[in-house]
């Protein structure tokens, strides 16, 4: 799934930063402003809140295979159900980002 997200974002011209675990995400978030974090809803609990402490405007696109799992707060967040098409992924990303601004820094999420 991560590879699909990464490829789609790169093809759209976005700058993509890929991490493998929560510690790497936090390290990147300390050094780089992230416009959109694309992440599995089952990832490390509290991770998004921790990043938002230093980056309160962070947008988040969660993916999940179930509507039963909803982020506690969908503020500046949305949920994309798997399986999804490339078109659905692109539309969800565009809905989260202001495409009229400068090139975005997009975190492609984490593997579990």
- Per-domain residue ranges for the chain? 2-107
Write down the pLDDT at residue 112.
Answer: 38
3-state secondary structure of 106: strand
Write down the pLDDT at residue 70.
Answer: 63
Which runs of consecutive H residues, i.e. helices, occur in the chain?
2-11, 22-31, 47-54, 86-96
- pLDDT tens, per residue, the chain with 112 residues: 778 788 888 888 888 898 989 999 999 999 999 989 999 888 888 899 999 999 998 999 998 887 776 655 566 788 899 998 888 998 998 888 864 244 555 555 544 3
Q: Looking at the domain 2-107, which fold is it?
A: Rossmann fold (3.40.50)
Bond before 88 cis per omega within 30 degrees: no
Write down the pLDDT at residue 74.
Answer: 62
Q: What's the rounded Cα separation, in Å, for the pair 19 and 27?
A: 10
pTM: 0.79
3-state secondary structure of 59: strand
Instruction: Give Dmax over CA atoms of the chain in angstroms.
Output: 35
Asked whether 37 and 107 are in contact (CB, 8 A), the reply is yes
């Amino acid at each position: 799934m991560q590879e699909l997200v990464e490829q789609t974002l790169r093809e759209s011209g976005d700058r993509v930063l890929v991490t493998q675990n929560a510690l790497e995400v936090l390290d990147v978030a300390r050094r780089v402003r992230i416009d959109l974090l694309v992440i599995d809803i089952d990832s490390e609990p509290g991770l998004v809140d921790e990043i938002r402490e230093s980056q309160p405007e962070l947008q988040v696109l969660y993916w999940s295979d179930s509507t039963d799992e909803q982020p506690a707060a969908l503020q500046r967040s949305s949920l994309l159900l798997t399986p999804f098409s490339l078109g659905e992924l692109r539309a969800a990303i565009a809905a989260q980002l202001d495409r009229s601004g400068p090139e975005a820094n997009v975190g492609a999420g984490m593997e579990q």
